[in-house]
Amino acid sequence: LVEQVHAHGSLAGIELVHNGMAEGNFYTRIPPLGPSNLPVTTHEPIQARAMSRTDIDDLRRRHRQAVQRSLRAGYDLVYVYAAHGLTTLQHFLSRRYNLRDDEYGGTLENRARLLSEVLEDTLEECEGRAAVACRVVVDELLGGEGIERPEIEQLFELVGELPDLWDVMVGFWPDDSRTSRFTHEAWTEEHFRGIKQLTSKPVVGIGWLTSPDTRVRLIRDGVVHLVGAARPSIADPFLPVK
């Protein structure tokens, strides 16, 4: 796969994920893992088991091994994934799912600890061989009761300079994948504004930026540096050229 991507003069990227409490393990019946003892976020009526320190260390080890395999395959870009409501890294970030009272829970600094550790592990493995990107949800960290300023600002103060690239999205998977006739284009734009000012690294925006004119405007207006358009590019494979 990587060789075919490179044959067209393109870079190959891979997105690694630990689904945790977004995966019901319907077939194996093994209790899924999460930051806290809570029901899984999918349809199966199953309870996730709160991860122990050993589980967390194991997740880091497995993620590092996955990065090593990605590098052996020749990937140019490796993603650390904390978005779409589908990943353990996002669940640890979330005050909704992270009810821990140890060094991985409570304050945002603690809730972001696992993301920071996985980013550092990935950077260490990829150094000089591949770039590291981080995909993160932004709206869930905007604020809330008792929050003096948006947690997304605090998050970028903690890890904003770690990856080579930031990839930002809004909402959960059903939000990001709504059929076009049920939503309006660029509804995510308001959540992207200001992110560029929080980091010196390039920022990619994804989700409902379907018109080429809209993409150009967002870049010219300084909202994002780049626009991600996977599904539009599948619908029209000549879109990047256009």
Query: How would you write 43-93 as a 3-class SS string?
Result: CCCCECEECCHHHHHHHHHHHHHHHHHHHHHCCCEEEEEECECCCHHHHHH
Q: How far apart (Å, rounded) are the C-alpha atoms in residues 6 and 16?
A: 20
Provide the percentage of residues in the chain whose pLDDT is more than 90. 65
More confident residue, 45 or 69: 69
Residue 234, token pair as written in the block: 């599948």
Q: How confident is residue 187, by pLDDT bands cut at 50, 70 and 90?
A: confident
Look over the chain and give the mean of its residue pLDDT values, rounded to a whole number: 90
**If pLDDT is split at 50, 70 and 90, which confidence band does 70 have?**
very high
Q: What is the 3-state secondary structure (H, E, C) of 121-172?
A: HHHHHHCCCCEEEEEEECHHHCCCCCCCCCHHHHHHHHHCCCCCEEEEECCE
- Which of 5-9, 47-51, 165-169, 234-238 is the least confident region? 234-238
Give 3-state DSSP helix, strand, coil % of the chain, rounded to 5. Answer: 40, 15, 45
- Does residue 228 carry a pLDDT above 70? yes
Query: What's the CA gap between 175 and 178, in Å, rounded?
Result: 6
The span from the CA of 167 to the CA of 165, in Å, is 7
Kindly report the pTM of this predicted structure. 0.92
- Residue 154, C-beta contacts closer than 8 angstroms, at least 6 positions apart: 108, 109
Residue 165: pLDDT above 70? yes
Q: What is the pLDDT of residues 95-148, one digit of tens each?
A: 999 999 999 999 999 999 999 999 999 999 999 999 999 999 988 765 555 556
Q: Which one has a higher pLDDT value, 145 or 241?
A: 241
